[in-house]
Each structure stands twice: as C-alpha cells, then as structure tokens.
Structure 1
Amino acid sequence: MQQTRLDTARIRAARRVIDPVFLDTALYRCEALEPHLGCAVSIKLETANPVRSFKGRGTEVVAGRLAQDGPRAVVCASAGNLGQALAWSGRGRGLDVTVVASRFATRAKLDRIRALGAGLELVDGDHELARERAAAIARHEGIRLVEDSLDIETCEGAATIGLELAATAPSFDAVLIALGGGALATGVGHVMKALAPGVEVICVQPAGAPALTRSWHRRRVVTTAATDTIADGVAGRYPIPAVLADLLVVADDAVLVEEASIVAGMRLLFEQAGLVVEPSAALGVAAILEDRDRFAGRHVATLVCGANVDMDAYRRWIGAPLHPS
C-alpha cells in the first residue's frame, strides 16, 4: 500500500483514548432494506452516541491531547456535527471551545452546540467563510485551530471505525462512505486497504456539492463556486490538497448522487430500518439506488454517519409522520 498521512499503529492507539461511548457501534445486516436495493446491506450505525455522529471519535483524540499538553482553548469551523463533538469532548476535559458556523446551518445542530457549553459565533455565509473566520480567531487569540480532515487526529479517530469493520471482513465486499471534507473516507479507507484490501472503498458525495469527487477523478484540487444540497454536512467547496492525496491512495471510486436519491435513501432508512438520519447518512443507500446493477448480488456495508437533522425539514423530505412501519 502507498503511504498516506495516517498510521495504523496510531489508529489502534486512538482507540485507547476515545471514550468507549463512541466505540464498537452496531454493525448489522438489515434484511428489510434488501428487497428495495437488490443486494445484501449491512449498516454501521454511528449515531447512537451523545453527539449523534461519528465526529466524536476524532474530537476525543484532539481534546485528549490538548488536555495533556496543549492550549486550553480551541476553535473550529463546523456545519454542526464537528462543533457538537468538540464541545462534548472539550467540556469533559475543561477546554474552552469556540465553534464558528454559518447562521444558515441546521438549527438543531446550532442549538446543541450551545447546550453543550461551547461558544458559538455565526457568520453570514457558508462553511468556507466559517473556516476563514475560525482561522482568524485562532491567529488573533493564539489558540488551537481544529481543521476537520486536515488535522490528522480527526482522520485517525474516524479510522477506528475501519478497525471495527475490518474485524468482520470478508463478510462484505464493498463499503460506501459519505464524502465531505474527507476525514471519514480517508480514515476508514486507510484501514480497509491495510487490513482488508479485498473490500472495495467507494466514496459518495451529492451532485450539488461535488468538489472532492471531481478532484479525485481529475487527480488535482477542483473547487466550486457554490453548493446546492440538503446534505449540509458534506457541502464543502475547497478540498484540502493533503486530504485529496490520501483519498487518491485509499479510494477505489468516488460517485455523485442526486438529491432525489438522497431523500429516497432517508425514507428507506426510516421505513425499513426505523432510523431517522440526516441527509449525509443516506448517501450510501442513495448510491445503491442509482446503480443497482453495480451492487446486485453483492454484500455492501454503508456507514450511517449522522442523525442531527431539523425535524420540520425531515418531515417534508420523507413526506410521512414519524412512525416507522
């Protein structure tokens, strides 16, 4: 395997500093989905934890190191999930956490960041403007800036999911991973290539936020002027070069899916698995819906990566009352 920034030994060590509440999440075959998707599907459920997303794995590594020998104040930009996770991990270690987010971010995510005790600054723009503001705060105040996907701790924390998946391989032959900033995809992808190289690593991104997928296909950073997707957690415009370099090593493919397929995926996960998920978490199911022939007869694992969703919007998207069938 070619080199990435990640290290499998450090990933194993990360498991020892992450609160067990985030570890060993459920992985189960969801037979109720299979008639609708035409393949065997296993779900890796990363939402049954205090921040309802996988991000806590990475922030536990970041906050643990800061509590030992780093600055006691930290700032990050977040679409919502990283901010919640950093607030939760920082609160337990006495860190002063500031989160910068777009004022157009999902209200439930912003409310939860505040409830977890972090300072919250809102900007009149998208996530990229929030990243710029967070960097400015870090420079001005001399505090730690956490940059999701660029900071290796966020990738290696997420990569512990890969250790859990690899322990069950070869029960499945492909894994579908939501692609946003890239921490989840590069982390899990690194472990799959190191420990379960027979598993195909497929990254999935909305067609309305295609920057990193386009970059992967062209093997160079491609930016976009705007994003247009309900999957706010993966709606970046400026891929990080170091992350792209890792992704080029560990991903076998990167695909784009339409908004209608994301909504259909959310609806299927609700109706057939009893799961309320945010749009980013339905990307894997959306990819199967759009390319059934590719996955027919295969056993696919998909990562359900977040469940922080505005419930009014969710009801509109799935068009149903909240009572699983």
Structure 2
Amino acid sequence: MQKTRLDTARIRAARRTIDPVFLDTPLYRCEALEPVLGCAVSLKLETANPVRSFKARGTEVVASRLAESGSRAVVCASAGNLGQALAWSGRGRGLDVTVVASRFATVAKLDRIRALGARLELVDGDHEVARERATVIARREGIRLVEDSLDIETCEGAGTIGLELADSAPSFDAVLVALGGGALATGVGHVLKALTPGVEMICVQPLGAPALTYSWLQRRVVNTDSADTIADGVAGRCPIPAVLDDLLQVADDAVLVREASIIAGMRTLLDHAGLVVEPSAALGVAAVLEDRDRFAGRHVATIVCGSNVDMGAYHRWVGAGHPPEGL
C-alpha cells in the first residue's frame, strides 16, 4: 500500500487512549438477514455505546491529546454525531466544547449535544456553512478546531474498528462502509488493506450526496452545490483533498444508493435484526439490496455506524408501504 496520512502503529496506540466503553463493539453474523439479502452478513454495531455512534473513537483521541497539552476549549462543526461525541469526550477531560450545527439538523442529536454540556450554536444553511462558522470561532477565540476526517485523530480513532474487524476478516469477502467526510472509510480501509488485503473495501454513499464518491471516481476533488438525502450524517458537499488522497489508496469501490434503498435498508434492519438505525447506518444494507447479484454467495460485513435518529421521521420512513422486492 502506498503512503497515506494514517499509521497502523498509531491506530493500535489509539486503543490505549479510547475509553473501553467504545471498544470491542458487538460483531456477529446475522443469519436472519441472509434470506433477504442473498448473502452471508455480519454486523459491526457501533451503536452500543454512550453516544450511539462510532464518532467517539476519534474524539477520545482528540480530547485526550488536548487535555495533555493543557488546552481548555475546543470547537467543531457537526451534523450531530461528532458533536455528541466531542461533548462526551470533552466533558470527561474538563474541556469547554462548542458545537456548530445547522438549525435543520436532527433535533434528537441537537438535544443530546446540549444534554452533554456543550455550547451549541445553530446556523442557517447546511453542514458546510457550519464548518465555516466553526472556523471563525476557532480563529476568534484562539482554540482548537476539530475537523472531522481532516484531523488525523478522527480517522485513526475510527481505524480501531478496522483492527477489530481484522481479527475476523479472513471470513469476510467484503466490508461495506458508509462514506461521508471519509474518516470511517479511510480509517477502517487503512487497517484492512494493511492487515487483510484480500478483503474488498467498498464505500457507500447516498445518490443525493455524492461528492466524495464522484471525487474518488474522478481522482480529483468534486464539489457539489447541494446535498439532498435523509442520511444527514454523510451529507457533505465539499470533500477534503487530503482525505481523498487517503481514500484513493484504500477503497476498492465506491457506490451510490437511492433514497428508497436507504429506507428499505433501515426497514430490513428493523424487521430482521431488531435494530433501529439512522439512515447512514443502513447504507451497507442498501448497497446489497440494490445489487444482490454482486454479493450473492459472499460473506459481507457492514458497520452499523449510528442510531441517533428522530423517531418521528423514522416512523414515517419505515412505516411507509414496503417497496417491491428488489426495489
């Protein structure tokens, strides 16, 4: 594998920094899904922790290093999950945490950020507008700006999931990873390519928010003017060049899935695995639903990356009439 910003030794070291409550999350073969998807499926549950997403693996590393350096304040932009994770990690280390988010973000995520003690600033516009505002705050107040996926700690913290998958990876043919800003995909992908290069690493992104997938396909940064998807956790428009460089070294494929498939994936995980997940966490299942022939007879693993979802919206989505088999 060519040189990337990530380092496997640092990822191993990150496990010693991360609170054990976020480590060694459940990984199991879910046989109930297999008749529906037509392949063997293992689920990696990154929802069984205090912030119900994988993001705290990265914020634990960030907050630990900030506390060691004597920093007392930090700011980030977030669609919701990073903000919750940074609030949780910062609270335990005496950091003042500010989170900037769109006022249109999922209410349940915003409420939880406040409950964890962070200061929440809302902006009109989407996540990219929130990123701009967080940058202004960091410069004005002279504090650390945590940028998901750009800050290597967020990628290498997520990479600890790859270490746990690699322990079982000889039984996997492919791993399906949600693609948003790229921290999860680059972190997990780096470890899998280093330790289990025979496993196919497939990134999955919504058709309504395709910027990083387009960038991967064209091998250059492609920005989009808008993002239109229920999968708010991966709805970025402006990929980070350094993240794309890392992704190009570790991803074997990047695919786009329709909104109907995401909803069908959420419903499938509820009906056959008993899991309530946010849309981003259903992207892997959505990819299988859209291309059963590709995965037929194979053993795939997918990372269930978050379960912070507005329950009113969730019931509207999964309670709708079932789509025809095969979408």
Distance 2:278 2:141 in 1: 34
Distance 2:174 2:244 in 1: 21
Q: Show the counterpart of 1:265.
A: 265
Q: Show the counterpart of 2:56.
A: 56
Aligned residue identity for 1:280: S
Q: Shift in Å at residue 70 of structure 1? A: 4.3
Q: Show the counterpart of 1:243.
A: 243
Distance 1:3 1:176 in 2: 23
Q: Shift in Å at residue 197 of structure 1? A: 0.3
Q: Show the counterpart of 2:134.
A: 134
Distance 1:17 1:192 in 2: 21
Q: Shift in Å at residue 169 of structure 1? A: 1.7
Task: Name the SS of the counterpart of 1:170 in structure 2.
Answer: helix
Q: Show the counterpart of 1:277.
A: 277
Q: Show the counterpart of 1:154.
A: 154
Q: How do 1:209-248 residues align onto structure 2 when only pairs under 5 Å count?
A: 209-248=209-248
Distance 1:40 1:101 in 2: 38
Q: Show the counterpart of 1:24.
A: 24
Deviations 1:175-200 (A, max 9, x none): 00000000000000000000000100
Q: In structure 2, do the counterparts of structure 1 residues 185 and 165 end up closer, same or farther at CA, with 3 Å as the change threshold?
A: same
Task: Name the SS of the counterpart of 2:41 in structure 1.
Answer: strand
Q: Show the counterpart of 2:255.
A: 255
Distance 1:167 1:302 in 2: 15
Q: In structure 2, do the counterparts of structure 1 residues 224 and 70 end up closer, same or farther at CA, with 3 Å as the change threshold?
A: farther
Q: In structure 2, do the counterparts of structure 1 residues 297 and 18 end up closer, same or farther at CA, with 3 Å as the change threshold?
A: same
Q: Shift in Å at residue 76 of structure 1? A: 0.1
Aligned residue identity for 1:125: G
Q: Show the counterpart of 2:191.
A: 191
Deviations 1:293-316 (A, max 9, x none): 100000000000000000000000
Q: Show the counterpart of 2:4.
A: 4
Q: Show the counterpart of 1:181.
A: 181
Distance 1:33 1:70 in 2: 48
The ranges of structure 1 where at least 4 consecutive aligned residues each deviate by more than 2 angstroms after the TM superposition are: none
Distance 1:69 1:231 in 2: 35
TM-score by length of 1: 0.98
Deviations 1:236-265 (A, max 9, x none): 000000000000000000000000000000
Q: Show the counterpart of 1:208.
A: 208
Q: Show the counterpart of 2:92.
A: 92
Distance 2:172 2:245 in 1: 26
Q: Shift in Å at residue 49 of structure 1? A: 0.3
Point out where structure 1 has 5 or more consecutive residues left out of the alignment: 321-325
Aligned residue identity for 1:294: R
Task: Name the SS of the counterpart of 2:51 in structure 1.
Answer: coil
Deviates more, 1:2-11 or 1:66-75: 66-75
Aligned residue identity for 1:199: V
Aligned residue identity for 1:142: G
Q: Show the counterpart of 1:39.
A: 39
CA RMSD, 1 decimal: 0.6
Q: In structure 2, do the counterparts of structure 1 residues 70 and 247 end up closer, same or farther at CA, with 3 Å as the change threshold?
A: farther
Q: Show the counterpart of 1:124.
A: 124
Q: Show the counterpart of 1:298.
A: 298
Q: Show the counterpart of 2:324.
A: none
Task: Name the SS of the counterpart of 1:193 in structure 2.
Answer: helix
Q: Shift in Å at residue 171 of structure 1? A: 1.0
Distance 1:292 1:268 in 2: 14
Distance 2:4 2:21 in 1: 28
Q: Show the counterpart of 1:172.
A: 172
Q: Show the counterpart of 1:323.
A: none
Distance 2:223 2:246 in 1: 17
Distance 2:41 2:169 in 1: 14
Point out where structure 2 has 5 or more consecutive residues left out of the alignment: 321-327
Q: In structure 2, do the counterparts of structure 1 residues 287 and 17 end up closer, same or farther at CA, with 3 Å as the change threshold?
A: same
Q: Shift in Å at residue 64 of structure 1? A: 0.3
Deviations 1:184-233 (A, max 9, x none): 00000000000000100000000000000000000000000001100000
Aligned residue identity for 2:95: L
- Residue 75 of structure 1 pairs with residue 75 of structure 2: yes
Q: Show the counterpart of 1:315.
A: 315
Distance 1:64 1:70 in 2: 10
Distance 1:2 1:42 in 2: 29
Deviations 1:260-288 (A, max 9, x none): 00000000000100000000000000000
Q: Shift in Å at residue 71 of structure 1? A: 1.8
Aligned residue identity for 1:38: G
TM-score by length of 2: 0.97
Aligned residue identity for 2:188: V
